Amino acid sequence: MTSERQQQQQQQLRSLHKSSSFVDAAREVQSISASMDVLASLLNDQADQVEFVEDAADAANEHVRGGNRELAQSASRPNFLRDAMVVLILILAVALVFLDY
């Protein structure tokens, strides 16, 4: 009987040890799951930041294109204004010459 009882106790000890291992494994899985949730949250935040940077880069690109168009327009304006100023000065010079006579 005692050997039978010892075998039962050993069996119970093995079962306890196994269940203890399962509990430890479950805790480890729970800890890993919590870490994965934190990591997923960080990845979502990073994705939002990347999207924000992409939008800002697109907006900056559009602003640069608009600036280039404005510069091209303003580069063509001085030629017209310079020519108009030369003609005006010539007209005034001729008018001064005729007013002296």
pLDDT < 70: residue spans in the chain: 1, 16, 77-78, 101
How high is the pLDDT of residue 87?
92
Structure tokens given for 89: 């000065």
Does the pTM surpass 0.85? The reply is: no
**Helices within 1-101 (DSSP H only):** 2-100
* CA dist., res. 30 & res. 24, Å (int): 10
How high is the pLDDT of residue 45?
94
pLDDT tens-digit profile of 43-70?
999 999 999 999 999 999 999 999 999 9
What is the biggest distance separating any 2 CA atoms in the chain, rounded to whole angstroms? Answer: 149
Measure CA 73 to chain center.
Answer: 33
How high is the pLDDT of residue 75?
75
* CA dist., res. 94 & res. 92, Å (int): 5
* CA dist., res. 44 & res. 70, Å (int): 39
For residue 95, give the 3-state DSSP assignment: helix
